[in-house]
Amino acid sequence: GALPEAVLVPVRLDLAALRRQSAGMPLPVMFRSLVRRAAPRAADGRSASSDGGGSFADRLRPLPDAERERLALQLVCDRVAEVLGHARGEDVKPHDAFTEMGFDSLTAVELRNRLNAETGLRLPATLVFDYPTPMVLAEYILGEAAPAKAAARSVLSELDQLEAVFAALDTADEEPVAEVTARLNALVAKWNEARGQAAVTTDDVGNTLDTASDDELFDFIDNRFGR
């Protein structure tokens, strides 16, 4: 019967046999740390998780947004497949919850360790519980690995909301319009200074905003923020 306490049992393990077994099916959790599985390889012999040399951030840098997202999701799905013993990352569904896949604290830490090694990041041990699906986790890793790109997307999202606010602004009331104009003027000046561009004079910006139509004002903001 079951014992109320843990006991130590000396066992001689055949690590070679465990390694062979791990190539075709998942090992029991207690044995996984004893056997290091090789990363799955593509037909050309390269690691299936690698799209080229350099760090994960280096591989992300030249890619457009859609490819960055694809690479991050592929990374997560491939590592999840390895931890759970699936043959391919394609077997992992991006929107399925990790808890429904069978993750527990041990497999969560194993996944975190593999992702740390692959990305060079220092991810938390509670990763699969804080970011509960491969898709959500991939978005988090992408933001950590390429924070400048993530920040730019956040700024553009805020500008989209700002456009909607401008559309509802009553331009007939001169006092709030003047205050908005002054704030935009200061913001544009700081932006240009941060980018190291030639300063745009206050009068130039003020004249542009004061005489602009709604459409011209939106175009002005988009152009200044690199849209």
pLDDT for the residue 10: 85
Mean pLDDT of the residues in the chain: 74
Q: What is the pLDDT of residues 109-141, one digit of tens each?
A: 999 999 998 888 899 888 899 999 999 999 999
Q: The whole model's pTM is what?
A: 0.48
Q: CA torsion sign, 122 to 124 to 129 to 130? A: negative
Which residue matches tokens 């050309």? 44
**Greatest CA span in the chain, whole angstroms?**
86
The tens digit of pLDDT for each residue in 141-182 reads 988 887 555 445 556 566 777 777 777 776 776 677 777 778
* Residue 170 burial class via C-beta count within 10 angstroms: exposed 0-12, middle 13-18, buried 19 and up: exposed
pLDDT number for residue 48 = 44
User: What is the reported pLDDT for 135?
Assistant: 94
Superfamily of domain 15-33+54-145: ACP-like (1.10.1200.10)
**Residue extents of the structural domains in the chain:** 15-33+54-145, 156-224
The pLDDT value given to residue 6: 74
Distances in Å between the alpha carbon of 93 and those of 44, 102, 115, 116, 166?
25, 13, 18, 21, 41
Range name among 62-76, 194-208, 213-227 with the lowest pLDDT average: 194-208
- Closest-CA residue to 129 (of 120, 140, 118): 140
What is the Cα–Cα distance from 113 to 119, expressed in whole angstroms?
10
Q: Which residue has the tokens 């700081």?
A: 190
Question: Where does residue 25 rank: exposed (0-12), middle (13-18), buried (19+ CB within 10 A)?
Answer: exposed
Quick one: pLDDT at residue 134? 95
Q: What is the pLDDT of residues 8-37, one digit of tens each?
A: 878 888 777 777 776 666 666 667 666 655
What would the two tokens of residue 48 be? Answer: 């299936």
Is the pLDDT reported for residue 53 higher than 60?
Answer: no
Distance CA 81, CA 142 (A): 19
Q: Is there a contact between 143 and 154 (Cβ–Cβ < 8 Å)?
A: no
Write down the pLDDT at residue 140.
92
